[in-house]
A = this chain, B = another copy of it.
Amino acid sequence: MEITYKAIGKIRSPFKGPEGTPIQPTAAGSAAGKIELLPEYQEGLKDLEGFSHLILLYHCHQAGKAALTAKPFMEDKKHGIFSIRAPSRPNSIGLSIVRLEKIENNILHIKDLDILDKTPLLDIKPYVPEFDRRKDVKIGWMETNINKLSSLKDDGRFADK
């Protein structure tokens, strides 16, 4: 079964290619950028400015061929693609929670980017702790590696070459 979506805009970011890009928003050191929403969707932004954080869903347009196992940045061992966050997955949908700074017409100024420049945007949802935050979480193989997060950058391994 095939499902077709349309890009609703694109993300503008200081990161022009995979290499050197932060691997998660929380490791992004406040990197700033913006969303250029297509003007025909601007009405959908009503009341969004009261939210501090947004969930962005986007198409990882530079992701390489999908694999079912891959070595993540945090560990030199192969894991199933659904237990890592690499972009080269069966459906290359990326998910990042970013900070919303302000909205000017169809332009959203955002921070904490780990997203490549010109990435096609699929959806914006308000981040709501009561919906999206969980306690008592187990993180499997990442448990012994998560402390490396802030020191890691993308090395291009998941890029389309």
Q: Mark A71-100, 1 if CB is under 8 A from B, else 0.
A: 000000011111111000111010101000
A46-B83, A95-B125 are known; give 6 further A-B pairs, CB within 8 A.
Answer: A45-B83, A48-B80, A51-B138, A127-B134, A127-B137, A128-B146
4 tightest A-B CB contacts, nearest first: A50-B140, A46-B80, A52-B138, A43-B68
> What are the residues of chain B within 8 A of A85 when measuring CB–CB?
125-126, 128, 131
Q: Does A160 contact B (CB under 8 A)?
A: no
User: Beyond A83-B46, A97-B134, A128-B139, is A3–B4 a contact (Cβ under 8 Å)?
Assistant: yes
Query: Do residues A91 and B139 form an inter-chain contact, with CB atoms below 8 A?
Result: no
Pick the contact of A142: B128, B141, B143 (CB < 8 A): B128
Q: Does A6 contact B (CB under 8 A)?
A: yes
Complex Cα spacing A127 to B134, Å: 9
Query: Do residues B125 and A139 form an inter-chain contact, with CB atoms below 8 A?
Result: no
Interface residues of A (CB under 8 A from B): 1-8, 24-26, 41, 43-53, 55, 57, 59, 68-69, 78-85, 89-91, 93, 95, 97, 120, 122-134, 136-143, 146, 149
> What are the residues of chain B within 8 A of A78 when measuring CB–CB?
46
User: Beyond A1-B120, A44-B81, A122-B3, is A93–B127 a contact (Cβ under 8 Å)?
Assistant: no
Complex Cα spacing A6 to B2, Å: 5
Query: Do residues A47 and B122 form an inter-chain contact, with CB atoms below 8 A?
Result: no
Complex Cα spacing A38 to B25, Å: 31
Complex Cα spacing A84 to B138, Å: 29
